[in-house]
């Protein structure tokens, strides 16, 4: 399951790979109408947000190693996102998989980018109703503006 590993020099490299994987995704889980690199709001900055075909907001925190910080940030993102994930390199995912109960406690998923540059989910995020619907709507508006600005018809 964890035989090959992609190395990233910077978190921005992992973040870029994540955006590319989401842009190309065809699976029902990851097929997104729009993807936005970085979303700033009062409580912080989310690395990547996306709107899937079901109209749900997905939030992603990408970290090279500091998974506990990423988990805290991903949990914070559930205030506006229907699903929230931590994305780490594959080797890190292997090491922290044993701590899946922390992810489950916070309803946060765990993912990595595989050797085919596809997003793989090791721990599924739990659907949640965001407690800040106005912030959710702001994210959706930004994502839809991004879609229109890029001339996308999906």
Give mean pLDDT, residues 109-114: 96
Lowest mean pLDDT segment, chosen from 23-27, 45-49, 65-69, 90-94: 23-27
Mean pLDDT of 129-147: 94
Q: Can you tell me the mean pLDDT for 86-113?
A: 96
- Look at 23 and 28; give whichever has higher pLDDT: 23
Task: Kindly tell me if the per-residue pLDDT of 39 is higher than 80.
Answer: yes
Q: What is the pTM of this model?
A: 0.90
Signed CA dihedral, 13, 10, 74, 66: sign only: positive
Average pLDDT over residues 135-139: 97
Residue 14 neighbours by CB distance under 10 Å:
23
Task: Work out whether the CA dihedral 13, 17, 22, 23 comes out positive or negative.
Answer: positive
Average pLDDT over residues 12-39: 90
Contact 57, 136 (CB under 8 A): yes
Which comes out higher in pLDDT, residue 42 or 74? 74
Please choose, from the candidates 64, 65, 114, 59, the residue with its C-alpha nearest in 3D space to the C-alpha of residue 85: 59
pLDDT at position 153 over 70: no
* Average pLDDT of span 74-96: 96
Q: H-helix or E-strand containing 60?
A: strand 57-62
In this prediction, residue 63 carries a pLDDT of 97
pLDDT at 152 over 60: no
User: Would you place residue 95 in the very low, low, confident or very high pLDDT band (cuts 50, 70, 90)?
Assistant: very high
Residue 143 pLDDT grade (very low, low, confident, very high; cuts 50, 70, 90)? very high
Please tell me the predicted confidence (pLDDT) of residue 151.
55
């Amino acid at each position: 399951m964890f035989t090959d590993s992609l190395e990233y020099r910077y978190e921005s490299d992992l973040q870029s790979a994540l955006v590319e994987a989401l842009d190309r995704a065809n699976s029902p889980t990851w097929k997104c109408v729009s993807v936005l690199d970085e979303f700033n709001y009062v409580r912080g900055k989310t690395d990547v947000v996306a709107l899937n075909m079901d109209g749900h907001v997905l939030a992603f925190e990408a970290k090279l190693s500091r998974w506990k910080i990423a988990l805290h940030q991903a949990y914070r993102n559930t205030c506006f996102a229907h699903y929230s994930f931590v994305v780490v390199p594959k080797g890190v995912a292997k090491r922290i998989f044993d701590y899946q109960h922390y992810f489950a406690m916070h309803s946060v998923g765990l993912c990595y980018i595989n050797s085919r540059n596809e997003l793989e989910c090791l721990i599924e995020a739990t659907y949640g109703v965001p407690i800040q619907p106005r912030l959710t709507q702001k994210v959706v508006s930004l994502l839809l503006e991004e879609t229109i600005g890029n001339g996308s018809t999906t």
